[in-house]
């Protein structure tokens, strides 16, 4: 049986994020992938330079109209990435700062020494960067070494920078998903509801209610990180019990499958691990509902990868397709693929960078093509615990 995915994500000429990170692995697994490129950039925004174009809500509508006129608007899945809503990844502005100042990048999950930089946002993202640099250089340079930043953008000012957007693109995606669901009530919408990470916002505040009230309610599978799960539910996660409650709240908002892809919860396997949690609500044949919850710990790699969130969502789509009521297996397969790709990527990056040197964004591009066999048939190296 043919299975067709409409994937609305970023495209980059060089490297692997968005559609570049999702299409190849899905195709390798036998899915038909129809892609709409929400942006077309030279490369991801973690490089020193990037250039390109952004698709508007109207242009998205035109592409969808074309599909519809030919009566080929039948999909089994819709997949959208982080960047349908925005954004200049503020995390990456931070990386640029660190690079310029020769300071180490904040480690994923590091919340120590928060620093607030208020940015004067101009219409050009290059200016944004310059402002960030000069506000740090204007006296607070020493704080840079304390790692981890909160960069605050002032509401509407952020909408014009780089490729940040207003809410119309996101709303158009919701309209399309709703229409496609009317045509196929079994359609599954997989959404990475990206709002931010590690206490800092990626997207302007005006998008939060859209995610909360419009996007999440039509989503069937969501992959927030801890911060996003907290923002969407208004509840903090400090224990596993909190996380379970948050995932229950997220189910109540719509999605039957929730995976919190990373959290600050203490790992049982030691501090070099990363804790993820998942929850799936299943309708039993007798009409009752059952919820399966799992926990999985994966070894943390000391590098910042880009495009991993997009690969994760694509692989979760594929493996929940094969195991629709077995979240444990679907997650073990998904996290095992992640592990294989990340290990191959980091080994290559270190080899390219040479001893003692931190790999560059270009050297850290995911080793996607090289991982074809692992994607098709991943050896299970990650085991999930049923809670």
Sites of contact with ligand ATP (CB under 6 A): 82, 108, 192, 194, 197, 225, 228, 261-262, 274, 276, 298, 300-301, 303, 305, 308-309, 312, 335, 338, 342
Q: Please, which residue, 257 or 276, has the CB nearer to ligand ATP?
A: 276
DSSP notation for 6-19? EEEEEEESSS-SHH
Which of these is catalytic: 310, 326, 374, 377? 310
From Mg ion, Na ion, ligand PLP, none, interface partner of 197 (C-beta below 5 to 8 A by class): Mg ion
Helix-, strand-, coil-residue percentages of the chain, each rounded to 5? 40, 20, 40
Q: Please, which residue, 43 or 233, has the CB nearer to ligand PLP?
A: 43
Within residues 67-96, the interface with ligand PLP by CB under 6 A covers 81-83, 89, 92
Is 278 a residue that touches Mg ion (CB under 5 A)?
Answer: no
CB atoms < 10 A from the CB of 154, how many? 12
DSSP single-letter state for residue 272: T
Is 89 a residue that touches Na ion (CB under 5 A)?
Answer: no
Angle between helices 308-322 and 18-28 (to 10 degrees): 30
48 near 4, Cβ under 8 Å? no
Nearest to 170 by CA among 153, 195, 187: 195
Within residues 302-321, the interface with Na ion by CB under 5 A covers 309
Cα dihedral across residues 223, 225, 231, 233: positive or negative: positive
From ligand ATP, Mg ion, ligand PLP, none, interface partner of 199 (C-beta below 5 to 8 A by class): none
Phi, psi dihedral angles at 12 (to 5 degrees): -125, 145
Using CB atoms, what's the residue nearest to Mg ion? 309
Q: Please, which residue, 293 or 315, has the CB nearer to ligand PLP?
A: 315
Report the distance separating Cα 9 and Cα 310, nearest Å. 9
Q: Please, which residue, 242 or 310, has the CB nearer to ligand ATP?
A: 310
Dihedral, CA of residue 116, residue 119, residue 125 and residue 127, to nearest 10: -120
Q: What binding mask, one character per residue, do residues 245-284 give for Na ion by CB under 5 A, x or -?
A: ----------------x-----------------------
CA 17 vs. chain centroid, Å, equals: 10
Phi, psi dihedral angles at 194 (to 5 degrees): -85, 120
Is 223 a residue that touches Na ion (CB under 5 A)?
Answer: yes
Minimum distance, C-beta of residue 334 to ligand ATP, in the bound complex (Å): 8
76 is annotated as an active-site residue: no
Give the footprint of Mg ion on this chain (CB under 5 A): 82, 197, 309
- Active site residues per annotation: 310
Give the footprint of ligand PLP on this chain (CB under 6 A): 10, 17-18, 39, 41, 44-46, 81-83, 89, 92, 306-310
């Amino acid at each position: 049986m043919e299975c067709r995915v409409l994937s609305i994500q970023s495209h980059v000429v060089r490297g692997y994020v968005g559609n570049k990170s999702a299409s190849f692995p899905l195709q390798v697994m036998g899915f038909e992938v129809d892609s709409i490129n929400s942006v077309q950039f030279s490369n991801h925004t973690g490089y020193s330079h990037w250039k390109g174009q952004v698709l508007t809500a109207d242009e998205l509508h035109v592409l969808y109209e074309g599909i519809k006129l030919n009566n080929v608007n039948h999909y089994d899945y819709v997949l959208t990435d982080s960047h349908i809503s925005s954004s200049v990844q503020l995390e990456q502005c931070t990386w640029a700062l660190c690079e310029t100042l020769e300071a180490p990048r904040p480690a994923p999950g590091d919340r120590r020494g928060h620093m607030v930089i208020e940015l004067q946002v101009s219409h050009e993202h290059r200016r944004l960067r310059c402002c960030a640099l000069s506000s740090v250089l204007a006296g607070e340079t020493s704080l840079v070494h304390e790692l981890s930043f909160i960069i605050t953008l002032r509401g509407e000012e952020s909408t014009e920078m780089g490729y940040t957007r207003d809410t119309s693109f996101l709303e158009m995606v919701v309209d399309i998903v709703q229409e496609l669901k009317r045509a196929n009530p079994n359609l599954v919408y997989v959404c990475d509801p990206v709002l931010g990470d590690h206490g800092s916002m990626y997207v302007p505040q005006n998008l939060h209610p859209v995610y909360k009230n419009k996007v999440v309610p039509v989503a069937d599978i969501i992959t927030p990180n801890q911060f996003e799960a907290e923002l969407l539910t208004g509840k903090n996660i400090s224990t596993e019990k909190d996380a379970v409650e948050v995932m229950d709240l997220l189910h109540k908002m719509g999605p039957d499958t929730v995976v919190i892809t990373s959290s600050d919860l203490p790992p049982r396997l030691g501090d070099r691990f990363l804790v993820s949690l998942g929850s799936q609500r299943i309708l039993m044949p007798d009409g009752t509902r059952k919820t399966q919850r799992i926990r999985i710990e994966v070894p943390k790699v000391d590098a910042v990868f880009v495009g991993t969130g997009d690969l994760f969502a694509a692989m979760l789509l594929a493996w929940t397709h094969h195991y629709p009521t077995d979240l444990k297996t679907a997650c073990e397969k998904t996290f095992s693929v992640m592990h294989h790709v990340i290990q191959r990527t980091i080994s290559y990056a270190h080899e390219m960078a040479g001893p003692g040197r931190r790999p560059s964004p270009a050297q850290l591009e995911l080793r996607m093509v090289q991982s074809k066999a692992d994607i098709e048939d991943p050896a299970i190296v990650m085991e999930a615990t049923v809670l």
